[in-house]
């Protein structure tokens, strides 16, 4: 890392708001943020219009729609998403090898046709709201959570995806296993002063960067703060300790 500004660029702020007006207000309130996540709620509300807004403001975009369907449907969705020129795009690793391969091929093909840079396609290993107990008892997965996470990451790696989404607590296990160009994107990052909410497996921003995260996804600690600018400043100051 060079300096604190470079570390800041590895923070993706989640635009977890219900409509375009709220999203634009937050984007304008935090001009220092260069990378924004658009998830299911906002994209379902606004469609691609919010992506156009972010592009017009020269922001980077993480389109986090977590595709999980049969290979043909996933490929079609990824083909459409790639044409938007977003930077990161997600698919569930649990969709299986065939779906991951189809998605990867579709992204490259569509981006080439549209004349845009293909998004980095990253796989969801396991939602950060899922605990070890829920994995075993609710989802009936008969392996330990760390083993399951590693298996999903290895599947994504073998298929040729660009990285995975994992909780910060899996970083110590995953970072040594993969090359530096295999992205590890971490939601569920919570500063010590923020409420953990429904995140079961979290670390602080500084801890996550030190453990090997390429990008941190931070939403509610910033977006629901009374003063989002102050929350962003506090997180930025924390990250100067690892710059």
Lookup result for tokens 């590693």: 150
DSSP string of 61-128?
A: EEEEEEE-S-HHHHHHHHHHHHTTT-SEEEEEGGG-HHHHHHHHHHHHHHHHHHTSPPPEEEEE-S-T
CB 84 within 8 A of CB 63: yes
Q: Is 66 marked active-site? A: yes
Catalytic residue among 9, 57, 59, 66: 66
Residue 211 host element (H or E): helix 205-211
Residues known to be catalytic: 66
């Amino acid at each position: 890392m060079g300096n604190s500004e470079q570390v800041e660029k590895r923070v993706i702020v989640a635009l977890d708001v219900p409509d375009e007006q709220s999203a634009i207000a937050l984007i304008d309130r935090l001009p220092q943020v260069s990378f924004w996540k658009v998830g299911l709620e906002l994209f379902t509300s606004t469609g691609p219009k919010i992506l156009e807004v972010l592009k017009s403001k020269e922001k980077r975009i993480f389109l986090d729609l977590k595709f999980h369907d049969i290979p043909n449907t996933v490929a079609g969705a990824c083909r459409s998403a790639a044409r938007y020129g977003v930077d990161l795009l997600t698919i569930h690793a649990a969709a299986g090898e065939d779906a991951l391969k189809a998605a990867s091929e579709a992204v490259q093909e569509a981006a080439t046709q549209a004349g845009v840079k293909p998004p980095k396609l990253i796989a969801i290993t396991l939602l950060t709201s899922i605990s070890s107990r829920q994995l075993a008892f609710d989802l009936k997965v008969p392996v330990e959570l760390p083993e399951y996470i590693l298996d999903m990451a290895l599947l994504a790696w073998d298929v040729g995806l660009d990285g995975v989404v994992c909780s910060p607590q899996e970083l110590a296990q995953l970072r040594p296993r993969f090359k530096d160009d295999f992205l590890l994107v971490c939601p569920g990052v919570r500063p010590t002063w923020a409420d953990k909410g429904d995140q079961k497996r979290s670390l602080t921003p500084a801890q996550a960067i030190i453990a090997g995260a390429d990008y941190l996804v931070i939403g509610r600690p910033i977006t629901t703060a009374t003063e989002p600018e102050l929350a962003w400043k506090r997180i930025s100051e924390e990250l100067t300790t690892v710059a």
